[in-house]
Structure 1
Amino acid sequence: MSEALQILQKYWNHNSFRSLQNEIIDSVLSGEDTFALMPTGGGKSVCFQIPAMMNEGICLVISPLVALMKDQVANLQKRNIKAIALTGGIRSDEMIDLLDNCQFGNYKFLYLSPERLQSDWILERIKNLPINLITIDEAHCVSQWGHDFRPAYLKISNLKTYFPKVPFLALTATATPEVKVDIINELGLNEPRIFEKSFARKNIAYMVFEVEDKLFRIEQILRKNPQSSIIYVRNRKSCLEISSQLQSLGFKSTYYHGGLSSKEKDKNMQSWMQDKAQVIVATNAFGMGIDKADVKTVIHIQLPENLENYYQEAGRSGRNGEKAFAVLLTSPSDILQVESQFIHVLPDKKFLNEIFIKLCNFFQIAYGEGIDEKFSFNLNQFCLKYKFPVLRTYNAMQFLDRQGVITLSQEFSEKISLQFIIPSKEVMRYMSLNPNDEEIVLAILRTYPGIYDIETAFNLPFIAKKSNHTETQVQTVLQKLKERNIVEYHSKNNDASLIFNEIREDERTISRVSKYLENQNQLKKEKLKSVLHYISEQNVCKSKLILNYFGEKTTDDCGICSYCIAQKNIKTDTIKLSKKIIALLKIEELNSREIENRTKNTSHDVIFAIQQLLEHEFIIVQPNNKYTLK
């Protein structure tokens, strides 16, 4: 048994590699630069985690997604593999400690964003680490033609100067042919070995239906397929509404979006993962790290922004290899709605500049200051104060985030503050009367010695860990202390946090990044056109449309999508109708209107069947426009 397979079994409990995983691992172990295009569910992370475990030193993983970094680090730590992520909001002194751990603490993985590499002192520290592999995840971000282009990715190739003998592994799940060429060129990959897994998912039936009542069609689909399902929606409000409507129809349903606390996310996710809920209604915040093999149906009830995102989300169905369905429900108003939602709200340079200046003013950041400052942020409050349109503002901030000017974290956070308002001897008395609460109260007092004097910011996960209790148990004690007027306890929910990654320079800041804005806006329009083509094209197999978009040419229809099923039905109905027509013409000559009346079929179906019979010379047409057998 190979060492790679032994590691896979020991840490991941899998007995065999998926398609291309072993080949990619061999390429990396042989020291070659490698490009791997593996559509969603292909198991990309194993391709760098296993070779990194086999070699001395540490694997540097560059990723733009904070949530994905945290998820992968947590999963590695659960397997007793030492991993660290340098995410936003970490103070410089903490960062130094973490990098010291990487250098001297036998860590195997260091995750960071490409923006971190732009800090000279961090780059200097990384240059001294024993790097054995450099992995670029979400590598399509390096291409201006990629759907999530980030300029910071363009500087990753500089690492080649410092690590000329260390292999680069570029990973992506969605890349068109031009994006693939861009990735190889921009990262400076040296004669890379290229591995491309087909985008074909032969067990997924891609369905597009135009319907008037989407909820009714969802109900039909879920009753016909009562297995695990995901319904994707565009916003948080729709999550709650659709989930509640499904519950009222008797379905076990839950929901997931970026505004839930981590506890609620985990609770709802586990309910669905453990099949206590058949359906999870979710925004696109749901998906990273999700690997539920038996998802039967993924339903989109609003049009996606691009086919890359749609393919990834639809591809969460059928990972067990059994037949599954990716359903897109549309209505005539959807096109106007999607243009309003994605195109009419794109920011221009003037608006971008205005947003950035107001953002700095909102947080009282002076010109030339602000770098690495972190704030709680509520988008609706900000827009209300300055009378900005919410969607256009959000798009502007997302653009600034991708350019590395700010980091906008949409992870829900709960800010707790606490102060004891009775004398310490009374607190001691409370502990003696409530021994079950003693460990938690003592942990608080030892951690925050000034908590009697001022209201103090409170770290719930830390106190839970220090007192050997769950977060829920700590919150229960806090609530009890509040009810007995022992503490002042305030809990405030924030739907985002905001970090400024560079100093405020107003127009100079925006001028530097706006050169990419027009190109990105045009790209969004083109990608939306591809989505509209996918739903409106009536004469091509849906699977073939998706494969062609990603540069795979195929002449075969899938046989199971909405187009192919419709063609089968037409063929079956035409054969039946043709037999009826032949039987009637054995008796007498008839014109098309008479055939239509006798067979009770539509004129469209009758004309189609007559054309087929004429082509195959079963019948002929007389000068009086009546048909007879040949």
Structure 2
Amino acid sequence: MQTALEILQKYWKHDKFRSPQDEIINSVLEGKDTFGLMPTGGGKSICFQVPALMLDGICLVISPLVALMKDQVQRLQKLDIKAIALTGGIKSDEMITLLDNCEFGNYKFLYLSPERLQSDWILERIKNLPINLIAIDEAHCVSQWGHDFRPAYLKISNLKTYFPRVPFLALTASATKTVLEDVIIQLGLEQPILFKKSFARKNIAYMVFEVEDKLYRMEQILKKNPQSSIIYVRNRKSCYDIASQLQTLGFKTTFYHGGLSAKEKEKNMNLWINEEIQIIVATNAFGMGIDKSNVKTIIHIHLPESIESYYQEAGRAGRDGNKAFAVLLTSPSDKAQAQSQFINVLPDKKILTQIYIKMCAYFQIAYGEGINEQYSFNLNHFCHKYGFPTLKTYNAIQFLDRQGILSLSQEYSEKITIQFIIPSKEVIRYMSLNPKEENVIVTLLRTYPGIYETQTSINATLIAKKSNNEENMILSILEKLKNNEIIDYHKKNNDASITFLEIREDERTINRVSKYLEKQNLQKVAQFESVLNYVNEKKVCKSKLILGYFGEKTNVDCGICSYCISKKTKPESTTLIANQIIEILKTQDLSSREIQKLTKKTEDDVIFALQNLLDKDKIAVKPNNKYTLKR
């Protein structure tokens, strides 16, 4: 049998493990239940992938993140390792085939969501598999005290009954002491060995700057650090706007958000990965499976919704060990805007019920039906039709997704429907005159037998695969058939798809999960308050604030964050500049850029002096982002 290090070298080309990867792997190989609390970027997947390849049988990986499951399966397949993911939208007959492959095809990894374990027939099939390890990713979801509780995770402990000798490996990047203890109980872990890696990222300088001109500040930072950078923004519109503004300033920039097609996402990401551009402006949809070690700067220009998400996104910088920067730019209006986006849009039980019932009506699902039905979904169209607020509706659907009532896939899709509008004998005649199109037409007719009678949704990728053609060729032939009046052909863009995982039961469904909604909303408010504390606290090291949030105590300041740097500034220098600023502000209100120009000091010196004056309550920032003396 190959050693763990040999497996690592063979497939991942690394010469050594990061701590505590090797300790976790040894614990699993000894058959012990194990808990790994490792910050983002710590290499959690290696902890179950390596031992699974060393043991006979198949590793069962339970994860709530469809995108992550798909990404890991694709990565394993590229390494010639046999892996399968049972994600939403897969039909029952296809799922049976996939599970047959797991049982008889010498597969090494089976990924599935916790909701799949609620299907008795899937559970029966899994019981017959030669499981060698059960890995639970995002294990904090099992605790109702965690920031992303999913009731379906509570069912995982049932696997202990069927696989009493198979070790459980629970992994998460974020868990307080309370959550950790709860996870151990809920999963039924037996005397688990706990491995906890420090949340400290000693090479990342956490910076918080209050500025009135965020674009100008970004320009200064990105010119000073011209290496790979990510700018995180709140929404798709900001992606386009900020990317465009930076391009105008001469920066090589692209963007990334959930509404892009798979091809656009891959193209834009590769431009950035391959160093053809410096900056990628992105929503939080960007980050899953990113493997780029030399990111120098992460800039957030809007407040994040939680310290967990901020730490995860900021942690994509400096994975090569070199000094990196995580910068959060704030302005006086940010709190109200974030409150509006994160807190005011939380759904209550009443609107959750309304949205669920209207969604069932929207897709014409009868009471007691709908399970495993998949539909293309355009959120804006749905909200416009029923007069629902978009963000509150999105949050409600996300909640239903997390409770396992439905599955929301936010991948851009293009729905194609066609219908042959000429008699079959005329179609045969057309094929005889256009032999290059015959294979595609025959494939369509065999795959969709009702295509003469009604508008039929087709899968262009499937037709391309069956007819041994490129997908672009299929679309080209469909356009030609439409122009020749052979078919009626429609394309409709959708920004998501929804799969219903339970039968429709209206209030009964919502009543069952409403208690979790109340807890979730309280948790969201508490998370947001922690973000405000991180931003507003001016007398504590920023790294120390983050570590304290995750329950990690330290008496040592990091020495490189915005607070620590401000302490290093010579008091007499700051006092001198501050006095200059006070004299200037006696005559008029000014922006920081105007103050810098008049004082002829460096930007950093001016910012620190302004911050000092703000802390001492000698000046204030007006709504127009200009500084004024307090009278």
Q: TM-score, normalised by structure 2?
A: 0.87
Deviations along 1:186-239, one digit per CA (max 9) or x if unpaired, are 111111111111111111111101111111111111111111111111111111
CA distance in 1, matches of 2:226, 2:445: 52
Tell me which residue corresponds to 1:178: 178
- 2:302, 2:334 within 8 Å by CA — same for their partners in 1? yes
| Mapping of residues 435-450 of structure 1, within 5 Å | 444=444, 447=447
Tell me which residue corresponds to 2:25: 25
Tell me which residue corresponds to 1:3: 3
- The letter for the 1-side match of 2:312 is Q
CA distance in 1, matches of 2:214, 2:575: 33
Tell me which residue corresponds to 2:511: 511
CA distance in 1, matches of 2:225, 2:298: 11
- 2:464, 2:470 within 8 Å by CA — same for their partners in 1? yes
CA distance in 1, matches of 2:376, 2:320: 41
Task: Give 1:386 shift.
Answer: 1.6
CA distance in 1, matches of 2:41, 2:58: 25
What SS does structure 2 have at the residue aligned with 1:258? coil
With 483-492 and 165-174 compared, the bigger mean Cα shift is at: 483-492
- The letter for the 1-side match of 2:351 is F
Tell me which residue corresponds to 1:424: 427
CA distance in 1, matches of 2:560, 2:122: 52
With 539-548 and 349-358 compared, the bigger mean Cα shift is at: 349-358
Task: Give 1:156 shift.
Answer: 0.9
Tell me which residue corresponds to 1:540: 540
What SS does structure 1 have at the residue aligned with 2:148? coil
**How many matched pairs?**
580
With 279-288 and 13-22 compared, the bigger mean Cα shift is at: 13-22
The question of 1:280 aligning with 2:280 is answered: yes
Task: Give 1:479 shift.
Answer: 4.1
Task: Give 1:147 shift.
Answer: 1.2
Task: Give 1:471 shift.
Answer: 3.0
Tell me which residue corresponds to 1:565: 565
What SS does structure 1 have at the residue aligned with 2:365? coil
- The letter for the 1-side match of 2:238 is S
The question of 1:301 aligning with 2:301 is answered: yes
Tell me which residue corresponds to 1:527: 527
Tell me which residue corresponds to 1:406: 406
CA distance in 2, matches of 1:251, 1:421: 52
Tell me which residue corresponds to 2:593: none
Task: Give 1:417 shift.
Answer: 2.5
Tell me which residue corresponds to 1:157: 157
Query: Structure 1 residues 430, 176: CA separation in 2 closer, same or farther (over 3 Å shift)?
Result: farther
- 2:231, 2:280 within 8 Å by CA — same for their partners in 1? yes
- The letter for the 1-side match of 2:127 is K
- The letter for the 2-side match of 1:531 is V
Deviations along 1:257-288, one digit per CA (max 9) or x if unpaired, are 11111111111111111112211111111111
- The letter for the 1-side match of 2:132 is N
Task: Give 1:371 shift.
Answer: 1.5
Tell me which residue corresponds to 1:618: none
CA distance in 2, matches of 1:304, 1:575: 33
CA distance in 1, matches of 2:80, 2:4: 17
Task: Give 1:476 shift.
Answer: 4.1
Query: Structure 1 residues 204, 161: CA separation in 2 closer, same or farther (over 3 Å shift)?
Result: same
- Give 5+ residue unaligned stretches, structure 2: 578-600, 613-631
Deviations along 1:546-585, one digit per CA (max 9) or x if unpaired, are 11111111111111111111111145737999xxxxxxxx
Task: Give 1:346 shift.
Answer: 1.3
What SS does structure 2 have at the residue aligned with 1:520? helix
Query: Structure 1 residues 145, 442: CA separation in 2 closer, same or farther (over 3 Å shift)?
Result: same
CA distance in 2, matches of 1:465, 1:40: 37
Deviations along 1:113-135, one digit per CA (max 9) or x if unpaired, are 11111111111111111111000
Task: Give 1:47 shift.
Answer: 0.7
- 2:73, 2:85 within 8 Å by CA — same for their partners in 1? yes
CA distance in 1, matches of 2:73, 2:553: 38
| Mapping of residues 109-120 of structure 1, within 5 Å | 109-120=109-120
With 8-17 and 136-145 compared, the bigger mean Cα shift is at: 8-17
Task: Give 1:473 shift.
Answer: 4.3
| Mapping of residues 216-615 of structure 1, within 5 Å | 216-419=216-419, 423-424=426-427, 427-428=430-431, 431=434, 444=444, 447=447, 455-483=455-483, 487-571=487-571, 573=573
The question of 1:121 aligning with 2:121 is answered: yes
CA distance in 2, matches of 1:575, 1:328: 25
What SS does structure 1 have at the residue aligned with 2:569? helix
Deviations along 1:14-37, one digit per CA (max 9) or x if unpaired, are 222222111111111110000001
Deviations along 1:473-505, one digit per CA (max 9) or x if unpaired, are 443444455456555432211111112111122
Query: Structure 1 residues 504, 425: CA separation in 2 closer, same or farther (over 3 Å shift)?
Result: closer
What SS does structure 2 have at the residue aligned with 1:515? helix
CA distance in 1, matches of 2:454, 2:342: 47
CA distance in 2, matches of 1:576, 1:253: 39
Task: Give 1:363 shift.
Answer: 1.7
Query: Structure 1 residues 385, 453: CA separation in 2 closer, same or farther (over 3 Å shift)?
Result: closer
With 174-183 and 114-123 compared, the bigger mean Cα shift is at: 174-183
CA distance in 2, matches of 1:453, 1:356: 32
Task: Give 1:248 shift.
Answer: 1.6
Query: Structure 1 residues 204, 129: CA separation in 2 closer, same or farther (over 3 Å shift)?
Result: same
- The letter for the 2-side match of 1:111 is Y
Query: Structure 1 residues 470, 19: CA separation in 2 closer, same or farther (over 3 Å shift)?
Result: farther
CA distance in 1, matches of 2:576, 2:381: 64
Tell me which residue corresponds to 1:84: 84
- 2:272, 2:278 within 8 Å by CA — same for their partners in 1? yes
CA distance in 2, matches of 1:147, 1:46: 24
What SS does structure 2 have at the residue aligned with 1:457? strand
Query: Structure 1 residues 509, 409: CA separation in 2 closer, same or farther (over 3 Å shift)?
Result: same
CA distance in 2, matches of 1:553, 1:325: 22
- 2:296, 2:317 within 8 Å by CA — same for their partners in 1? yes
What SS does structure 2 have at the residue aligned with 1:291? coil
CA distance in 2, matches of 1:249, 1:469: 43
Query: Structure 1 residues 446, 501: CA separation in 2 closer, same or farther (over 3 Å shift)?
Result: closer
Tell me which residue corresponds to 1:66: 66
CA distance in 2, matches of 1:368, 1:210: 54
Once superposed, what is the RMSD of the aligned Cα atoms?
2.4
CA distance in 1, matches of 2:572, 2:492: 62
Task: Give 1:465 shift.
Answer: 3.0
CA distance in 2, matches of 1:320, 1:103: 40
CA distance in 1, matches of 2:490, 2:570: 65
Query: Structure 1 residues 274, 488: CA separation in 2 closer, same or farther (over 3 Å shift)?
Result: farther
- Structure of greater Rg: 1
What SS does structure 1 have at the residue aligned with 2:316? coil
What SS does structure 1 have at the residue aligned with 2:289? coil
Task: Give 1:450 shift.
Answer: 6.2
Tell me which residue corresponds to 1:586: none
- The letter for the 2-side match of 1:424 is V
- The letter for the 1-side match of 2:240 is L
CA distance in 2, matches of 1:562, 1:455: 61
CA distance in 2, matches of 1:250, 1:419: 49
Tell me which residue corresponds to 1:189: 189
CA distance in 1, matches of 2:395, 2:377: 15
With 490-499 and 541-550 compared, the bigger mean Cα shift is at: 490-499
Tell me which residue corresponds to 2:619: none
- 2:234, 2:302 within 8 Å by CA — same for their partners in 1? yes
What SS does structure 1 have at the residue aligned with 2:395? helix
Task: Give 1:424 shift.
Answer: 3.4
- 2:427, 2:486 within 8 Å by CA — same for their partners in 1? no
What SS does structure 2 have at the residue aligned with 1:516? helix
Q: Identity of paired residues, percent?
A: 71
